[in-house]
Amino acid sequence: MTANGSQTVSTADSSGARSDAAMTDNAPLGSPRVDDAVIESRDLDVFYGDDQALHGINMDIPEHKVTALIGPSGCGKSTFLRSINRMNDLIDIARVDGDLYFHGKNIYDDDVDPVALRRKIGMVFQKPNPFPKSIFDNVAYGLRVQGKDDDVEEQVHTALERAAILDEVEDQLDSSGLDLSGGQQQRLCIARAIAPDPEVILMDEPASALDPVATSKIEDLVEELAEEYTVIIVTHNMQQAARISDKTAVFLTGGHLVEFDDTSKIFENPESDRVEDYITGKFG
Ligand SMILES: Nc1ncnc2c1ncn2[C@@H]1O[C@H](COP(=O)(O)OP(=O)(O)OP(=O)(O)O)[C@@H](O)[C@H]1O
């Protein structure tokens, strides 16, 4: 882990006051402001019909780091993740207020094409979901759709290599992706997500359906991916968040982001008593 890196981080002082005037009033405790933020969430609210799932989320997500989103069931982790590449657009009753910037551009502006955005901000889901196609075609699919398939063989090999699965499948690229083990399928899905060369990879509990060995491979891979990509991962597994992430955001019931800071700080010395109670298993 590289918890601090070269980022400029400002935190609340012991009285809870913020030294940095640029923070909004409802910034979460800890709340590092980073010079190299690739995603900036400002007062983001998300509603499903009349129900508000997220309240005023403020967060700066640093580039080339792993940011973990943790918190009890229903606190809005997946909703926040899906807001980042506008997957919530696909839910009829979902509505977003506030701003969410990707490299300074508000992704909810009218001129943003969600499909193009999702090429830059890819997603890996909880359950491995390869297409019923060959291993090769799974990875090549996005490249072909974009007409970026001039050197498709090389790009597929590179993506499989980056997803740490090439060695296991290079002799069977024509076999169905569905014939792989669950862990291999998930790494295939990661290869599919990185083939179009995104900048950010969103992962929604990518190892929760896998056995411990496959989980450990995914965890190693997530850390490696952060060298090339910005990774944002939802996990229920606090040990996993502590092992693999640089930053941790703790959401608590009702859809509030309570604390966001270096992972070591969150797990060793959180600012909020509620976060401490959650981390130590007093509720969850
Ligand atoms: N498609 C939807 N339609 C209506 N309400 C939804 C929808 N998706 C989520 N919600 C509601 O929004 C709130 C936040 O859900 P979300 O799935 O984001 O939480 P979560 O923290 O990811 O939960 P979990 O850890 O159980 O996956 C919950 O009250 C949930 O019932």
d(CA 34, CA 127): 32
CA of 150 to the centre of ligand 1 (A): 41
* Helix, strand, coil fractions of the chain, as percent rounded to 5: 35, 25, 40
Domain count, the chain: 1
Does ipTM top 0.95? yes
Look at residue 187 and give its three-state secondary structure.
Answer: helix
Segment 237-245 shows an average pLDDT of 95
Query: In this structure, is residue 28 part of a structural domain?
Result: no
Mean pLDDT of the chain: 88
Residue 77, ligand 1, Cβ within 6 A: yes
Nearest alpha carbon, ligand 1 atom 8: 79
193, pLDDT greater than 80: yes
**Among 254, 252, 243, residue whose Cα is nearest residue 272:** 252
Share of the chain above pLDDT 70, in %: 88
> Could you report the per-residue pLDDT of 66-102, keeping only the tens digit for each?
999 999 999 999 999 999 999 999 999 999 999 999 9
Token couple for 184: 């291999």
Residue 50, ligand 1, Cβ within 6 A: no
Nearest atom of ligand 1 to the alpha carbon of 80: 18
CA of 79 to the centre of ligand 1 (A): 6
Euclidean distance between the first and the last CA atom of the chain, given in angstroms as a whole number: 26
CB-CB neighbours of 4 under 10 Å: 12
CA of 205 to the centre of ligand 1 (A): 14
CA of 144 to the centre of ligand 1 (A): 33
Residue 190, ligand 1, Cβ within 6 A: no
> Could you report the per-residue pLDDT of 16-32, keeping only the tens digit for each?
333 343 445 577 787 66
Residue 218 to residues 29, 164, 177, 198, 213: CA-CA distances in angstroms?
30, 9, 17, 18, 9
Nearest atom of ligand 1 to the alpha carbon of 91: 1
DSSP letters, 91-159, are STTEEEEEEEEETTEETTSTT--HHHHHHHEEEE-SS----SSBHHHHHHHHHHHTT--TTHHHHHHHH
Range of the domain at 189: 37-279
155, pLDDT greater than 60: yes
8, pLDDT greater than 70: no
Query: In this structure, is residue 177 part of a structural domain?
Result: yes
d(CA 250, CA 67): 11
Nearest alpha carbon, ligand 1 atom 26: 73
Query: In this structure, is residue 199 part of a structural domain?
Result: yes
Ligand 1 pocket, mutate which of 44, 46, 55, 75 (most atoms under 8 A from CB): 75
CATH number for the domain spanning 97: value is 3.40.50.300
> Could you report the per-residue pLDDT of 105-115, keeping only the tens digit for each?
999 999 999 99
Query: In this structure, is residue 14 part of a structural domain?
Result: no
CA of 180 to the centre of ligand 1 (A): 30
Query: In this structure, is residue 178 part of a structural domain?
Result: yes
**Among 195, 204, 74, residue whose Cα is nearest residue 127:** 204
Query: In this structure, is residue 215 part of a structural domain?
Result: yes
244, pLDDT greater than 80: yes
- Number of alpha carbons in the 13 Å side-chain half-sphere of residue 19: 10
Query: In this structure, is residue 3 part of a structural domain?
Result: no
Query: In this structure, is residue 84 part of a structural domain?
Result: yes
> Could you report the per-residue pLDDT of 33-56, keeping only the tens digit for each?
666 899 999 999 999 999 999 999
170, pLDDT greater than 80: yes
